[in-house]
Amino acid sequence: MTERGRIRRPGPGAVIWGSIVLFAVLFALLTYRLSVGADPSLSGSASAAAQPVQVRKVIKRRVVTTIVPTPGANTVTSGPATSASYASGAITTSAS
């Protein structure tokens, strides 16, 4: 049997506990950094705070007009009568 063959693999309990401890340590470290305002995810943008922020707001304004005729009432628009708009046989209101 060689020396290499004597190396013992860690048991499953050691692996599990090792993982938990490692997670706890890293979690504690990150929590500490967040609590002091040193968020590692923002660490690269420290200089960006000095840059001007451009906020673009787009307002789309849409005017919708609905004409609901009142029963029995006129719906009317009007305009000046031009020669172009007059056709022979047009309906005309006049004194009679």
Partner 1 sequence: MSEHDLTFDAMGSHVRLLIGEPGSGVAPAEEAAERAREFVLEFDAALSRFRPDSQLCALNEDPRERVPASDLLREAVRAGLWAAERSDGLVDPTLVREIEHAGYVASRAGMSGLPLDEALREAPARRPARPRPERRWREVEVDEEAGEIVRPPGLRFDSGGTGKGLAADLVAGALRGYSRFIVDCGGDIRIGGADALVSPYEVFVEHPLSGERAHVLRLGSGGVATSGLNVRIWKSEDGRYAHHLLDPASGEPAWTGLIGATALGDTAVEAETLSKAALLSGPQRGRELLADRGGLLVHDSGRVELVGPLAVAPRIRIPSLEGTG
Q: Are 39 and 29 in contact (CB under 8 A)?
A: no
Q: Are 75 and 67 in contact (CB under 8 A)?
A: yes
Question: CA 20, CA 27: separation in Å to the nearest integer?
Answer: 10
Q: Does residue 95 bind partner 1 (CB under 8 A)?
A: yes
Q: Does residue 86 bind partner 1 (CB under 8 A)?
A: yes
Q: Minimum Å distance from CB 51 to partner 1? A: 15
Q: Does residue 1 bind partner 1 (CB under 8 A)?
A: no
Within residues 53-82, the interface with partner 1 by CB under 8 A covers 54-63, 69, 72-81
Q: Does residue 50 bind partner 1 (CB under 8 A)?
A: no
Q: Which is nearer to partner 1, 7 or 67 (CB)?
A: 67
Contacts with 85 (C-beta within 8 Å, 6 or more apart), sequence order: 79
Report how far apart, in Å, the C-alpha atoms of 55 and of each of 52, 58, 81 are. Answer: 10, 10, 51
Q: Which is nearer to partner 1, 35 or 93 (CB)?
A: 93
Judged by the rule CB under 8 A, the positions of this chain that interact with partner 1 are: 54-63, 69, 72-81, 85-86, 89-96
